[in-house]
Structure 1
Amino acid sequence: MTIYSLYIFDRHCSCVYYHDWHRSLRAKVATEGNILPAVSHEVYSKPTEGDVSGTPTPSYPGSRLALSSSTGIVVAVNEQPPPTPATVATQTATQATTSSLSFDEEAKLVYGVILSLRNLIKKLSGRDEQFVNYRTSTYKLHLFETVSGFKFVMLSDPNTDSLRFILRQIYAGPFLEYVVKNPLVSMDSKERGIDNELFRLSTDRLVRNVSVFS
């Protein structure tokens, strides 16, 4: 059992944060203009100048600074050397394991599924019932929605028990501490995601400590 990815959607239906761990198919870079900047450097078409907290973002190709994922320390790196045959082969293999969907299309599909199932449950079972998760043969989707309209969505192995508790911990811990209480973050912004490094590192540490993560 393992955890694949995490999405956070705001009340405007926009994906404002993304993080993945054990995806077998990487999402393609989002089409320019169809995703907010600072959602995740892995799926955004252009590098950002820095996050809302003022901390540096991980490096992009050609950058001379890199953020170590293990220590969080910014270190200097050399410019990328000319590609070797081995590098080209590795890049080709990576492209072969990339999803056919761009990230913006993927995020819209995830949100669409959540919205459709939530409305279906309310119509069939009444307003007291809540949509919390569903399972397919390949993954399980977990949902935690806040009163303010933020939706925390996690995809995991289909045999995983409910992970709403970890989504609630992410909201009550790193999200409140580094996003809600951060005066530099606009909670009603339609122009930028919420990807600052303190929030990303704290969320990553929290998820990796869950027993089902492997």
Structure 2
Amino acid sequence: MTINSLYIFDRHCICVYYQDWHRTRRPKPAAEGGLLPGVSQAVSPGTSAGPSSGFDSPRNTLASSSGTVVAINEHTNPQLSIPMAPTGVTSTGLAFDEEAKLVYGVVLSLRNMIKKISGRDEQFTSYRTSSYKLHLFETPSGYKFVMLTDQKSEMMRSVLKQIYLVGFLEFVVRNPLIKMDSREQGIDNDNFRSAVDRYVRGLPNYN
């Protein structure tokens, strides 16, 4: 199982957090003014396109135009000893703020389509193409956790839910320094990023 990247969007459709693990093609830094501060240092405006740490090592995101939708009916930084990203990383040619909009657009479009076709009790939880699989978990407050993996991975909704319950609630919601729904600042902080990284790397099939 290859886990590529994690995006978190708030209820205003704004990307407030980004983290990746196995990307061979990274996005360009966001355009000036195109990304909130506090989302990810790896993709902030002015960030170097050189190799980064394991936290920030961007893999291919939306690379296929065809796929199948799977719907399931379900009611700054201290120095950290993290492996460096692999060499030979190339660019997608797309700025991160544009990439985030595309990811959210896919989620919104497919979710709306499923509700119209199958009814409101049916939930969009994953989408698979020939090269990647997108997984979605939405919190009661409207935050959307989106993870991209290889196309053969199992359902990751439980993983996203655990990231929400263990990391997000503890280091974001209960953090007095984080302004939720501010529309001015992301939710990135060292404790949350470290907790997510440890959990993801500790998954049985992580590679």
TM-score (norm 1): 0.79
Q: Does 1:134 align with 2:151?
A: no
> Which structure's CA Rg is the greater one?
1
* Structure 1 residues 183 and 43, CA gap change in structure 2 (3 angstroms): same
More helix by share: 1
Q: How does 1:13-52 map to 2 (within 5 A)?
A: 13-46=13-46
Partner of 2:67: none
One-letter identity of the residue aligned with 1:167: L
Q: How does 1:154-169 map to 2 (within 5 A)?
A: 154-169=147-162
Q: Does 1:177 align with 2:170?
A: yes
One-letter identity of the residue aligned with 1:111: Y
Name the CA distance, whole Å, in 2 between partners of 1:69 and 1:8: 25
One-letter identity of the residue aligned with 2:185: R
Q: Which runs of 5+ in 1 are unaligned?
A: 48-55, 59-66, 72-89
Structure 2 counterpart SS, 1:120: helix
Indicate conservation of the 8 Å contact 1:3/1:212, yes or no: no
One-letter identity of the residue aligned with 2:196: T
Partner of 2:80: 68
Structure 2 counterpart SS, 1:131: strand
One-letter identity of the residue aligned with 1:69: S
| Structure 1 stretches of at least 4 aligned residues deviating more than 3 Å after TM superposition | none
Deviation by residue 1:120-139 (Cα, 9 ceiling, x = unmatched): 00000000000000100000
How many residues end up aligned between the 2 structures?
176
Partner of 1:53: none
Structure 2 counterpart SS, 1:147: coil
Name the CA distance, whole Å, in 2 between partners of 1:129 and 1:25: 34
Indicate conservation of the 8 Å contact 1:139/1:155, yes or no: yes
Name the CA distance, whole Å, in 2 between partners of 1:13 and 1:112: 9
Partner of 2:71: none
Name the CA distance, whole Å, in 2 between partners of 1:121 and 1:142: 15
Indicate conservation of the 8 Å contact 1:160/1:212, yes or no: no
Structure 1 counterpart SS, 2:134: strand
Name the CA distance, whole Å, in 2 between partners of 1:170 and 1:69: 21
Q: How does 1:50-199 map to 2 (within 5 A)?
A: 56-57=76-77, 67-70=79-82, 94=89, 97-199=90-192
Structure 2 counterpart SS, 1:110: helix
Name the CA distance, whole Å, in 2 between partners of 1:136 and 1:213: 20
| % identical equivalent positions | 61
Deviation by residue 1:101-120 (Cα, 9 ceiling, x = unmatched): 10000000000000000000
Q: CA deviation at 1:68?
A: 2.2
